[in-house]
Amino acid sequence: MERFTETVIQIIKRIPAGKVMSYGQIAKAAGSPRGARQVVRILHAMSRKHSLPWHRVINSKGEIGIQDEELFFTQKTLLEGEGVKIKGRNRIDLEKYRYQSIEDE
């Protein structure tokens, strides 16, 4: 891989609809097992300038860890629109919807 940032972007872009990945999972797949926080930063930056399926990225607990009400609602709506059922306020079945990327093993 060239750069961690670009690799992360590529990984996010190839997550299929109806599937999700956790920040840590993506970071690991990109080569930095402890780079979850970098993934967060990338999401912030990319979601504003590029069209990235950032809504398919959640935390390791299978929840949407967003604070912003508007973005939270947006992500939840987009996921449900792709077939991802959300239980309660923000509970997602990682066992069913987690996308196992090729790099992530």
Partner DNA sequence: GGCTTGACGGGTA
Partner DNA sequence: TTACCCGCCAAGC
Other Cβ atoms within 10 Å of 29 Cβ, number: 23
Residue 14 beta carbon to DNA: minimum distance, rounded to whole angstroms: 17
Sequence-distant (≥ 6) Cβ neighbours of residue 29 within 8 angstroms: 11, 21, 101, 103, 104
Q: Would you count residue 47 as binding DNA (CB under 7 A)?
A: yes
Q: In the set 10, 18, 53, 65, which binds DNA (CB under 7 A)?
A: 65
Please identify, among the stretches 2-10, 12-20, 77-85, 94-102, the one whose residues bind DNA according to the rule CB under 7 A.
2-10
One-letter amino acid identity for 48?
R
Contact residues for DNA, defined by CB under 7 A: 3-5, 22-25, 32, 34-41, 43-45, 47, 54, 57, 59-61, 65-67, 71, 75
